[in-house]
Structure 1
Amino acid sequence: MSILADKIEQFILHKLLEEEEENIVLRRNELADELNCAPSQISYVLSTRFSNDKGFLVESRRGSGGFVRIVRLRPKQQDRTPVLLEERLPAVSITLDDLDGFLFQLIKQHRMTNREAILMHQTFDALYKEIDDEAKRLAVISRILRHLNTH
């Protein structure tokens, strides 16, 4: 299910990033038809990858007129860029949600495309999953962010 769940997540993230607003409304059955999967698989991805603690609010209505509304919650501080102590030091503290908020701001400022943001999100997600040493992970993230801020 992991590969299909990744595909569903990326599709929904892409749709969310396409919108000027910070929310999208999807029809679960139409989405399932488009992605060639069962509606329950859409529900699974929504509940596991688009939860409140991951920065999303999901509202779901079932039935013939049913829909799914996904709202990207904003960080408490708008345009929150990770703080870099010095050139050689990594970010003090940064979460994947902080990074997503930063990417979203770059999209809104037309400094990054939706596709680039999705690729960056996947890169950051992989760093969190693959690098256990927080200092090393944050050093890599800091290098990426410095490059994004200068281009």
Structure 2
Amino acid sequence: MSVLADKIEQFILHKLLEEEEENIILRRNELADELECAPSQISYVLSTRFSNDKGYLVESRRGSGGFVRIIRLTPKKEDRTPVLMKERLPAVRVTVDDLDVLLFRLIKQHSLTNREAILMHHTFSALFDEVDDEAQRMAVVSQILQHLNLR
């Protein structure tokens, strides 16, 4: 179940990263068909990996017109480190493109300047080129993001 749960979580996180908004709306049955699993497995992932303490709010409506809305909660001002980067060992595979999306959001929030984002992009690119161990890479990325003095 954990491999399937990881696949479902990764799919949902990538959908969240692709969206300009901080929330997405999914149809549970369509998502289950696309990922070839039961809707109850989607529910399991939503309840265990997208909870309030992990920085998400999940609204669910059942029935023929049912949907699932996943909202990324805005981090508190004193803790603006993205929820994805807080975990030591990532549940999903994060790419440089994913980090670029994050950097772009930080620029839009006026938390980073363009120059800082460019420097971080090159730092992350070099890190991904030089370090093969994903857990080690993500530990470094997490440390960098935690030490940012976000405005």
TM-score, length basis structure 1: 0.61
Matching residue of 1:7: 7
Secondary structure, counterpart of 2:21 in structure 1: coil
Q: Percent identity?
A: 73
Equivalent residue runs for 1:1-151 within 5 Å: 1-77=1-77, 80=80, 97=83, 99=85, 105-108=102-105, 109=107, 111=117, 126=135, 141-142=142-143, 144-145=144-145
- Output the amino acid matched with 1:32: A
* CA RMSD between the two structures: 3.4
CA displacement at 1:13 relative to structure 2 = 0.2
TM-score, length basis structure 2: 0.61
Secondary structure, counterpart of 2:43 in structure 1: helix
* Alpha-carbon distance between aligned partners in 1 of 2:23 and 2:39, rounded to the nearest angstrom: 20
Write the deviation string for residues 15-67 of structure 1: whole angstroms up to 9, x where unpaired: 01111000000000000000000000000000000000000000000000000
- Output the amino acid matched with 2:23: N
Cα pair distance change 1:31/1:78, threshold 3 Å: farther
* Alpha-carbon distance between aligned partners in 1 of 2:7 and 2:84, rounded to the nearest angstrom: 23
- Output the amino acid matched with 1:45: V
Secondary structure, counterpart of 2:40 in structure 1: helix
- Output the amino acid matched with 1:97: V
CA displacement at 1:77 relative to structure 2 = 1.0
Write the deviation string for residues 83-127 of structure 1: whole angstroms up to 9, x where unpaired: xxxxxxxxxxxxx73736xx6742423856xxx9xx9xxx5xx57
Q: Is the 8 A contact 1:75 1:98 kept in 2?
A: no
Structure 2 residues not aligned, in runs of 5+: 87-98, 109-116, 129-133
* Alpha-carbon distance between aligned partners in 2 of 1:57 and 1:107, rounded to the nearest angstrom: 23
Q: Is the 8 A contact 1:56 1:71 kept in 2?
A: yes
> How many aligned positions are there?
111
* Alpha-carbon distance between aligned partners in 2 of 1:22 and 1:140, rounded to the nearest angstrom: 22
After the TM superposition, list the runs of 4 or more consecutive aligned residues in structure 1 that deviate by more than 3 angstroms. 109-112
